A and B are shown apart, each in its own frame.
Chain A
Amino acid sequence: AQSVTQLDSQVPVFEEAPVELRCNYSSSVSVYLFWYVQYPNQGLQLLLKYLSGSTLVKGINGFEAEFNKSQTSFHLRKPSVHISDTAEYFCAVSDPRGGSEKLVFGKGTKLTVNP
């Protein structure tokens, strides 16, 4: 079984500051990794994904994440945040062996960007 831990439930930062949202996963097999963002009263929007290849993944809105297999981590980073980045961010994993698209999510990290 897979599990995802997002180490920070809330992260407050000032505008234009860098931010890192941490995600660790547990799995007995290789996984696919995802970051989704959820704005108030909306569904989930895919930010970026790691399926294979380069461990540094670039996504939308200037976000990037690095897959670290030895540390079973997939931390999300942005060098300079904007007020509009205020949202909840979810890390998720899926099993690439086939047979199901089920995503296992972390509890989420609420990012608040202050002026």
Chain B
Amino acid sequence: KAGVTQTPRYLIKTRGQQVTLSCSPISGHRSVSWYQQTPGQGLQFLFEYFSETQRNKGNFPGRFSGRQFSNSRSEMNVSTLELGDSALYLCASSLEGTSGGNLAKNIQYFGAGTRLSVL
């Protein structure tokens, strides 16, 4: 079974531009979460989607947005890029996204990430 696939792996943008990152979850997984990883702040939760609906959101400005499609694939968008947006963006998927019953649903599997550099 293929893992979580993130594209592209690397991106270079300039300040003020916008960027879209893509994530294809493991087949059958319906929950997709996004995280930002920086040396200073570590791993921070951006948002989570389940059945095309945003279910949870971290403490990031409105320039960060996302969506999920009917096939569970997800995209995140960052508008008006700032230098501080340079980071590794990680996507994770899990089986169903609800607790109770089958505990395996609560395990998140990560992609290799998209490294964004803002110049």
Interface residues of A (CB under 8 A from B): 32, 34, 36, 42-46, 49, 51-52, 90, 92, 94-108
Contacts and interface: CB of A to CB of B under 8 A. Distances in A.
A101 B29 CA distance: 12
B42 A101 contact: no
Interface stretch (B11-19, B68-76, B79-87, B96-104): B96-104
A96 B90 contact: no
Contact of A52 (B58, B103, B107): B103
Given A43-B90, A43-B112, A44-B90, A102 B33 contact: yes
Nearest to A108: B42
Contacts of B109: 46
Contacts of A105: 35, 42-44
B111 A43 contact: yes
A107 B33 contact: no
A49 B94 CA distance: 14
B106 A32 contact: yes
Contacts, number: 71
A51 B106 contact: yes
A51 B110 contact: no
A95 B98 CA distance: 10
Contacts of A102: 33, 45, 48, 56, 58
A101 B112 contact: no
A92 B90 CA distance: 15
Given A101-B31, A102-B56, A96 B106 contact: yes
B113 A97 contact: no
Contacts of B92: 44, 101, 103
Given A101-B31, A102-B33, A108-B42, A44 B48 contact: no
Contacts of B4: 43
A32 to B, nearest CB: 6
B82 to A, nearest CB: 23
Nearest to B103: A51
